[in-house]
Amino acid sequence: MHQVIIMEQTKRYELPKLAYGYKDLAPFLSEEQLTVHHTKHHAAYVNAANAILDRMARARAENADIDAKGTLKDLSFQIGGHYLHSVYWETLCPAGKGGEPQGKLKVELEKEFGSIERFKREFSAAAGSAEGSGWAVLVYCMALKKPIIMQVEKHNVNVIPGFRVLMSLDVWEHAYYIDYKNLRPKYIEAFWNQVDWAEVGKKLDAMLR
């Protein structure tokens, strides 16, 4: 006898609140660009991930089959979108408030890349050369004890996220088209003035504690 009666997830993904106002990243991102991206695009991934989990819970309650391949591919896409966007908002801050890399973050970046400038150049190249929709992310690998730049296609569909993402840059067109049209390189260049290095460093410190 199948006893599971949960028809809806009790804990749900939620759209995170931003640590700044919708006008506070201008002119890097206009109020319109940031609002649409956060409240429409990111919210859609949150809602879709919850809907898939609800659907799976219902199927279990009814002891019905789940289309494993399609459902799990979609779930990975939606959860990946939610996670990467959450890190993206935390990566950003109002211009002039982000400081410079400090402490362990500075040490690790300089040790691996030779200089902060070299790191920025490689990260920008990863963001600029992502084909179609994707991301540039900085992760920290605990096995090798070093930072690695990765390029994510779409939202890293069906890849197990084995590394904590320290910072992310969204290069889907929806992230910049209102303000930059097709000019992704201009958006990437402007990004460096908005990075909250203290927040990025905090994520690394939490891993190395």
Which positions touch Mn ion (CB under 5 A)?
Answer: 41, 170, 172, 175
Q: Kindly tell me which of 25 and 105 has the beta carbon lying closer to Mn ion.
A: 25
CA atoms within 13 A on the CB side of 43: 9
What are the residues whose beta carbons fall under 8 Å from the beta carbon of 189, sequence distance 6 or more? 124
Residue 134 C-beta: closest distance to Mn ion, Å: 10
Q: Kindly tell me which of 85 and 113 has the beta carbon lying closer to Mn ion.
A: 85
Taking the C-alpha atoms of residue 87 and residue 168, their distance in angstroms, rounded to an integer, is 6
Q: What is the 3-state secondary structure (H, E, C) of 105-127?
A: HHHHHHHHHCCHHHHHHHHHHHH
Q: Kindly tell me which of 50 and 86 has the beta carbon lying closer to Mn ion.
A: 86
Residue 46 C-beta: closest distance to Mn ion, Å: 12
Residue 9 C-beta: closest distance to Mn ion, Å: 24
Taking the C-alpha atoms of residue 138 and residue 151, their distance in angstroms, rounded to an integer, is 9
Q: Kindly tell me which of 78 and 113 has the beta carbon lying closer to Mn ion.
A: 78
| SS3 label, residue 136 | strand
Residue 22 C-beta: closest distance to Mn ion, Å: 15
